[in-house]
Amino acid sequence: MRAKKTVYFFSMLLLFSAFICRVGALSTTTVSFHGVGVTIDLTFPEEAHPSESITHNITITANVALTLQNFTIIIKAPVSSGWQEVKNQTITFLDLLEN
């Protein structure tokens, strides 16, 4: 009789946990990097599903007028147990005005 009550208890606990444990991710996440007179804001989705396309937005703001030479952007994504390079782009000469 005690085993039957235990099974009912855990069955109900499992059933109610489906209603209680809902976690939702934020739609987008923004990360900022500051240094050498430049602010880089990167916006990306918090989660993605295998059949969905995702978009990354990068905004580069110069705090002072400057020229960037050989600026490389590399985007990597976790695949299985390692990281895979998704995009690699090098900008050889970029003139940035203040703001």
Where along the chain do its domains lie? 25-96
Ranges of H-type helices in 21-90? none
Report how far residue 99's alpha carbon sits from residue 60's, in angstroms, rounded to the nearest whole number. 9
Give the residues across from 10 on adjacent strands: none
Report how far residue 36's alpha carbon sits from residue 72's, in angstroms, rounded to the nearest whole number. 15
What is the chain's pLDDT, residue by residue, as a tens digit (99 residues)?
677 778 777 777 676 666 665 555 556 788 888 887 888 898 888 777 778 888 888 888 888 888 878 878 888 888 888 999 988 999 888 788 887
Query: Could you give the 3-state DSSP secondary structure of residue 54?
Result: coil
Q: Give the HSE-up count for residue 45: Cα atoms under 13 Å, Cβ half-sphere.
A: 9
pTM (2 decimals)? 0.55
Q: Which sign, positive or negative, has the C-alpha torsion 77, 79, 84, 87?
A: negative
